[in-house]
Amino acid sequence: MATHGGNPNMELLIPMINQLQHIFTSVNAKLTLTLPQIAVVGAQSAGKSSVLENIVGRDFLPRGGNMVTKRPLVLQLITSQGQEYAVFGHKPQQRFINYADVRAEIENDTKAIVRDDMGVSNLPINLTIFSPHVVNLTLVDLPGMVKVPSQGQPPDIVKKIDDIILEYISNENCLILAVTPANIDIVTSDALVMARSRDPMGKRTIGVLTKLDMMGKGHNAREVLLNKVVVLERGFIGVVLRGQRLDEYGRASKELDIPAALENERQFFQNDPAYRDIADRLGVPYLQRTLSVQLTEHILKCLPDLQRELQGRHRDLGKEVAEYRASAMFESSSSSDTKALVGLTHELHENFDTALQGTHLKEADLKTLTGGARIANIFRERFPFELVKTELQDKDMRNQTIVAIKNIRGFRSGLFTPDEAFEYIVQMQISKFEDPVMKCVDMVVSELLSIIHEATNKMKRYPLLRQVTEDLLTQYLREREIATKQACSTYIQTQLSYINTNNEDFIGFAG
């Protein structure tokens, strides 16, 4: 393995970054640090999985005809002596010796997050492989790009996958491994088009051409590999993916194992006239070494900015810790957690009550209505306005009543005015009240949700507690919303069930 300019300390850079990644993951820290890494980008059929498995030298990724990479896989390769094993970030105490178990765990953890068989998630899976057969390297396998949703996939799957990819490659410290089949037009490569959207000058992009052995007779990718068609600062590397072993009759029997595939690749480049003179710069072993060297050099280049970023976050976190310690909630007592929770709950109650009941004049907002004032405004102005819009004008009501009376009598002439005509008109008018009533409830609920969100702002130091508290309050409010709407609906139905035509309003109207 190369020692990067004779300096063995350079070999420690990738493990150092991996350790940082592990620390952030273990403490569930969202520190927004732009750690250097290599993101693997390509279409679903580009051969990303085969490239990664050939680099590792093991079959460990899920396979299938449909989309199999549904979550980013942060793959950290660590050179080590002794027994080869794998460790998942979500199961740090368990060592996986069998790679079939690694594949099964990837599938199981994916299903735990992505319930929909055709969905995707941006929540990564962290996998570290310790082996004497790998070089220090960190790769992020991203979901394969699609142009149109296939049967059963959600209509927004294309955008979801693109968003996940862009989340990684938009990081200026991220190198982009753009995997493209050699048997398509390189200029229209999905991977290169995506990479170019965030790396237009091609400074961070490494091109990988797969399926060189499937280009057809008389065709080769020599010009592309020599960086003469699409120019990338880091160039292109060609690989041959795993083919199928032929039986004694020349029929494909099963997929080649990785050692056989690597030997098959070596012979292909050595024997093909188009690639023979550049064979030492092609193939998976060369790709493996090149990626390790380029990532190490890239980390070295990023170190000053990364150091400043870490120091800045350290200062910010130090200030937060000082604020926590200064808080009265953090007393040296075994019941400090309970006291803290009680204190936060009491503060939440006061904030909510103050928002509803109103604030002192010195604290009041002089520009816009807030909290309870907005709810009062709904009852006093918005709701009456909505009710007025449903009212009939006297002329219209008289006309409708006359028409109703005539329709009830038919061809007969009547001596008395039928009550049914008045009841029908009144019931029709009362039923119109339901929409503005429900709209009023919706507006009040919306304001209460805003008050809840603002009242829990003091809990922002404890984002999980704030989220749980807000969820519980929202759930309770939604339950009360349903009960309130049912009560309003019941009241309206009660009014509709009996119309008192002896009321003076009817007598006055008849007069």
Number of Cβ within a 10 Å radius of residue 134: 21
Geometric angle at alpha carbon 170, from 123 and 9, rounded to 5°:
85
Residue 196 lies in a domain: yes
**Predicted local distance difference test score (pLDDT) of residue 6:** 45
Residues 344 and 229 in one domain: no
**Predicted local distance difference test score (pLDDT) of residue 327:** 56
Residues 495 and 374 in one domain: yes
Residue 1 lies in a domain: no
Domain boundary among 297, 320, 345: 297
Geometric angle at alpha carbon 48, from 108 and 306, rounded to 5°:
85
Number of domains in the chain: 2
Residues 201 and 343 in one domain: no
**Predicted local distance difference test score (pLDDT) of residue 1:** 41
Residue 184 lies in a domain: yes
Distance in angstroms (rounded) separating the CA atoms of residues 26 and 342: 28
pLDDT level of residue 432 (50, 70, 90 thresholds): confident
Distance in angstroms (rounded) separating the CA atoms of residues 268 and 255: 17
Looking at residue 376, which CATH number applies to its domain?
A: 1.20.120.1240
* Per-residue tokens: 28: 């569930």
Residue 134 lies in a domain: yes
Residues 289 and 363 in one domain: no
Residues 76 and 193 in one domain: yes
User: Tokens 């299903």, residue?
Assistant: 111
CA distances from 152 to 119, 149, 155, 480, 509 (A): 10, 8, 9, 37, 62
Domain boundary among 297, 312, 347: 297
pLDDT level of residue 248 (50, 70, 90 thresholds): very low
For residues 98 and 58, the answer to whether their CB atoms sit within 8 Å is no
Distance in angstroms (rounded) separating the CA atoms of residues 469 and 475: 10
pLDDT of residue 321 exceeding 50, the answer is yes
Stretch among 308-322, 341-355, 411-425 having the lowest mean pLDDT: 411-425
Q: In terms of C-beta density within 10 A (0-12 exposed, 13-18 middle, 19 or more buried), how is residue 5 classed?
A: exposed
pLDDT of residue 478 exceeding 80, the answer is yes
For residues 421 and 405, the answer to whether their CB atoms sit within 8 Å is yes
Residues 271 and 159 in one domain: yes
Residues 276 and 377 in one domain: no
Residue 119 lies in a domain: yes
Length of the chain: 511
Per the structure, the complete domain to which residue 347 belongs is given by 337-390+432-510
Stretch among 67-76, 199-208, 457-466, 489-498 having the lowest mean pLDDT: 457-466
pLDDT of residue 467 exceeding 60, the answer is yes
The H or E element containing residue 124 is none
**Predicted local distance difference test score (pLDDT) of residue 223:** 95
Residue 395 lies in a domain: no
For residues 426 and 499, the answer to whether their CB atoms sit within 8 Å is yes
Residues 144 and 282 in one domain: yes
pLDDT digits (tens, 9 = 90+) for 26-83: 555 555 556 788 999 999 888 888 899 888 988 899 887 677 889 999 999 988 888 9
Residue 262 lies in a domain: yes
pLDDT digits (tens, 9 = 90+) for 397-427: 667 666 766 666 666 666 555 667 667 777 7
Q: What is the CA 37 to chain-centroid distance, rounded? A: 20
Looking at residue 270, which CATH number applies to its domain?
A: 3.40.50.300
- Residues contacting residue 461 through CB under 8 Å, at least 6 positions apart: 320, 323, 324
Residues 360 and 268 in one domain: no
**77, 59, 87, 105: which is closest to 15 by C-alpha?**
77
pLDDT digits (tens, 9 = 90+) for 137-189: 889 999 999 888 877 778 889 999 999 999 999 988 899 999 999 989 999 99
More confident call, 501 vs 327:
501
pLDDT of residue 394 exceeding 80, the answer is no
* Per-residue tokens: 36: 């250097």
Residues 239 and 381 in one domain: no
pLDDT of residue 505 exceeding 70, the answer is no
Residues 361 and 254 in one domain: no
Classified as helix, coil or strand, 147 is coil
Domain boundary among 297, 323, 348: 297
**41, 229, 256, 59: which is closest to 144 by C-alpha?**
41
pLDDT of residue 510 exceeding 50, the answer is no
User: Tokens 């494909």, residue?
Assistant: 252
Averaged pLDDT score across all residues of the chain? 81
Residue 130 lies in a domain: yes
Mean pLDDT of 351-378: 74
Residues 153 and 105 in one domain: yes
Stretch among 259-263, 427-431, 436-440 having the lowest mean pLDDT: 427-431
pLDDT digits (tens, 9 = 90+) for 69-111: 899 999 999 888 889 999 998 898 899 999 999 999 999 999 8
Mean pLDDT of 426-450: 87
pLDDT level of residue 484 (50, 70, 90 thresholds): very high
